[in-house]
Amino acid sequence: MDAPSLRTKRLVLLPLGSADLDEAAALFADPRVMVNIDGGTRDRSTTSRLLQANERCWKTEGWGLWAIRDATSGAFIGQGGLQRITELQDADVEFSAIIGRRNWRKGIATEAANAIVYDAWERFPGSQIHALVHPDSAAGGPFLRRIGFRRDDDQLVHGETLEVWHTQRLG
Protein backbone atom coordinates (compact mmCIF):
# COMPACT_ATOMS: atom_id res chain seq x y z
CA MET A 1 0.00 0.00 0.00
CA ASP A 2 1.30 3.45 -0.89
CA ALA A 3 1.76 5.89 1.97
CA PRO A 4 -1.19 8.26 2.19
CA SER A 5 -0.67 11.99 1.89
CA LEU A 6 -2.75 15.11 2.35
CA ARG A 7 -2.23 18.41 0.55
CA THR A 8 -3.50 21.89 1.28
CA LYS A 9 -2.63 25.20 -0.33
CA ARG A 10 0.58 25.54 1.73
CA LEU A 11 1.15 22.12 3.26
CA VAL A 12 1.84 18.48 2.53
CA LEU A 13 1.15 15.91 5.25
CA LEU A 14 2.71 12.44 5.32
CA PRO A 15 2.56 9.75 8.02
CA LEU A 16 4.98 10.71 10.81
CA GLY A 17 7.70 8.10 11.14
CA SER A 18 11.30 7.23 11.89
CA ALA A 19 12.55 9.27 8.91
CA ASP A 20 11.28 12.38 10.76
CA LEU A 21 13.28 11.67 13.93
CA ASP A 22 15.75 14.58 13.77
CA GLU A 23 13.08 17.19 13.10
CA ALA A 24 10.50 15.73 15.49
CA ALA A 25 13.12 15.42 18.26
CA ALA A 26 14.00 19.11 17.85
CA LEU A 27 10.31 20.08 17.96
CA PHE A 28 9.59 17.97 21.05
CA ALA A 29 12.72 19.26 22.84
CA ASP A 30 11.61 22.91 22.60
CA PRO A 31 10.30 23.92 26.04
CA ARG A 32 8.24 26.84 24.64
CA VAL A 33 6.45 24.50 22.23
CA MET A 34 5.91 21.73 24.77
CA VAL A 35 5.04 23.84 27.82
CA ASN A 36 1.37 22.74 27.88
CA ILE A 37 1.79 19.32 26.26
CA ASP A 38 1.32 16.23 28.45
CA GLY A 39 4.68 15.41 29.99
CA GLY A 40 6.48 18.47 28.64
CA THR A 41 9.59 18.12 26.52
CA ARG A 42 10.61 14.72 25.18
CA ASP A 43 14.12 13.42 24.66
CA ARG A 44 15.32 11.78 21.43
CA SER A 45 14.77 8.24 22.75
CA THR A 46 11.18 8.98 23.77
CA THR A 47 10.56 10.67 20.42
CA SER A 48 11.94 7.62 18.60
CA ARG A 49 9.56 5.33 20.49
CA LEU A 50 6.62 7.63 19.70
CA LEU A 51 7.49 7.57 15.98
CA GLN A 52 7.80 3.78 15.97
CA ALA A 53 4.43 3.46 17.74
CA ASN A 54 2.91 5.82 15.18
CA GLU A 55 4.24 3.70 12.31
CA ARG A 56 2.57 0.66 13.90
CA CYS A 57 -0.67 2.62 14.28
CA TRP A 58 -0.70 3.51 10.59
CA LYS A 59 -0.15 -0.17 9.72
CA THR A 60 -2.80 -1.57 12.07
CA GLU A 61 -5.41 1.22 12.20
CA GLY A 62 -4.94 3.01 8.87
CA TRP A 63 -4.59 6.39 10.60
CA GLY A 64 -2.25 8.16 13.01
CA LEU A 65 -0.09 11.26 13.30
CA TRP A 66 1.05 13.21 10.25
CA ALA A 67 4.31 15.08 9.65
CA ILE A 68 3.28 18.58 8.57
CA ARG A 69 5.63 20.02 5.94
CA ASP A 70 5.82 23.13 3.80
CA ALA A 71 4.48 22.16 0.36
CA THR A 72 7.10 24.25 -1.46
CA SER A 73 10.30 23.70 0.53
CA GLY A 74 9.49 20.41 2.27
CA ALA A 75 10.57 21.96 5.59
CA PHE A 76 9.21 20.22 8.70
CA ILE A 77 6.64 22.43 10.43
CA GLY A 78 5.16 20.10 13.05
CA GLN A 79 2.92 17.11 13.59
CA GLY A 80 -0.76 16.49 14.02
CA GLY A 81 -3.32 13.73 13.78
CA LEU A 82 -5.03 11.02 15.76
CA GLN A 83 -3.84 8.74 18.56
CA ARG A 84 -5.60 6.12 20.66
CA ILE A 85 -6.60 7.49 24.03
CA THR A 86 -7.40 5.31 27.02
CA GLU A 87 -7.38 7.94 29.75
CA LEU A 88 -10.75 9.50 28.92
CA GLN A 89 -14.16 8.18 29.77
CA ASP A 90 -16.15 7.37 26.59
CA ALA A 91 -13.33 8.28 24.18
CA ASP A 92 -11.37 6.26 21.64
CA VAL A 93 -9.12 8.73 19.84
CA GLU A 94 -7.49 12.06 20.50
CA PHE A 95 -6.66 14.76 17.97
CA SER A 96 -3.49 16.75 18.61
CA ALA A 97 -1.30 19.20 16.74
CA ILE A 98 2.12 20.59 17.61
CA ILE A 99 3.61 23.33 15.44
CA GLY A 100 7.16 24.71 15.66
CA ARG A 101 7.51 28.29 16.91
CA ARG A 102 8.67 29.69 13.54
CA ASN A 103 5.20 28.92 12.19
CA TRP A 104 2.99 30.16 15.01
CA ARG A 105 0.29 32.72 14.20
CA LYS A 106 0.30 32.01 10.46
CA GLY A 107 -2.87 29.90 10.32
CA ILE A 108 -0.85 26.77 9.61
CA ALA A 109 -2.19 24.79 12.57
CA THR A 110 -5.76 25.56 11.50
CA GLU A 111 -5.05 24.69 7.85
CA ALA A 112 -3.43 21.38 8.82
CA ALA A 113 -6.08 20.55 11.42
CA ASN A 114 -8.96 21.09 9.01
CA ALA A 115 -7.34 18.70 6.50
CA ILE A 116 -6.56 16.15 9.22
CA VAL A 117 -10.04 16.12 10.77
CA TYR A 118 -11.76 16.02 7.37
CA ASP A 119 -9.57 13.07 6.35
CA ALA A 120 -10.04 11.39 9.75
CA TRP A 121 -13.72 10.80 9.05
CA GLU A 122 -12.68 8.79 5.97
CA ARG A 123 -10.23 6.63 7.94
CA PHE A 124 -11.60 6.44 11.49
CA PRO A 125 -14.88 4.53 11.95
CA GLY A 126 -15.84 6.08 15.29
CA SER A 127 -18.42 8.79 15.84
CA GLN A 128 -16.33 11.23 17.93
CA ILE A 129 -12.81 12.61 18.07
CA HIS A 130 -11.61 14.17 21.31
CA ALA A 131 -8.89 16.65 22.21
CA LEU A 132 -7.29 17.58 25.52
CA VAL A 133 -6.18 21.08 26.49
CA HIS A 134 -4.11 22.10 29.50
CA PRO A 135 -5.93 24.88 31.40
CA ASP A 136 -2.86 27.15 31.08
CA SER A 137 -2.99 26.99 27.28
CA ALA A 138 -4.51 30.25 26.09
CA ALA A 139 -4.50 29.14 22.43
CA GLY A 140 -5.80 25.55 22.71
CA GLY A 141 -9.50 26.16 23.27
CA PRO A 142 -9.94 28.92 20.67
CA PHE A 143 -8.00 26.82 18.13
CA LEU A 144 -10.24 23.79 18.69
CA ARG A 145 -13.37 25.92 18.50
CA ARG A 146 -12.21 27.29 15.11
CA ILE A 147 -11.93 23.77 13.70
CA GLY A 148 -15.35 22.68 14.97
CA PHE A 149 -14.71 21.13 18.40
CA ARG A 150 -17.01 21.74 21.38
CA ARG A 151 -16.04 21.83 25.04
CA ASP A 152 -17.11 19.01 27.35
CA ASP A 153 -16.69 18.62 31.10
CA ASP A 154 -13.11 18.72 32.35
CA GLN A 155 -11.56 15.39 33.36
CA LEU A 156 -8.66 14.26 35.50
CA VAL A 157 -5.94 12.82 33.23
CA HIS A 158 -2.56 11.68 34.61
CA GLY A 159 -3.18 13.66 37.79
CA GLU A 160 -4.10 16.93 36.02
CA THR A 161 -7.50 18.41 35.33
CA LEU A 162 -7.68 19.03 31.58
CA GLU A 163 -10.24 20.59 29.29
CA VAL A 164 -11.92 17.94 27.14
CA TRP A 165 -13.16 18.88 23.68
CA HIS A 166 -14.86 16.81 20.98
CA THR A 167 -16.14 16.89 17.44
CA GLN A 168 -18.49 14.34 16.00
CA ARG A 169 -19.31 12.77 12.69
CA LEU A 170 -22.16 14.50 10.90
CA GLY A 171 -25.12 12.58 9.54
In this structure, what CATH number is given to the domain that contains residue 70? 3.40.630.30
147, 117 contact by CB (below 8 A): yes
For residue 31, the model assigns a pLDDT of: 96
The confidence score (pLDDT) of residue 1 equals 44
* Exposure string for 147-158, b = 16+ CB within 10 A, e = fewer: bbbeebeebeee
| CA–CA separation, 108 and 67 (whole Å) | 13
Is 64 among the domain residues? yes
Q: Is residue 141 part of a domain?
A: no
Inside any domain, residue 158: no
What is the pLDDT at residue 39? 78
Could you tell me if residue 62 is inside a domain? yes
| 155 inside domain | no
pLDDT averaged per 10 residues in sequence order, the chain, 171 residues: 86 98 98 89 97 96 97 98 86 93 96 97 92 93 97 92 93 62
Query: What confidence score (pLDDT) does residue 171 get?
Result: 62
- Asked whether residue 28 is assigned to any structural domain, the reply reads yes
In a domain, 134, yes or no: no
The CA distances from residue 64 to 38, 73, 76, 111, in Å, are: 18, 24, 17, 18
Whether residue 26 is contained in a domain is answered as yes
Residue 70: which domain range?
6-125
Q: How many domains does the chain have?
A: 1
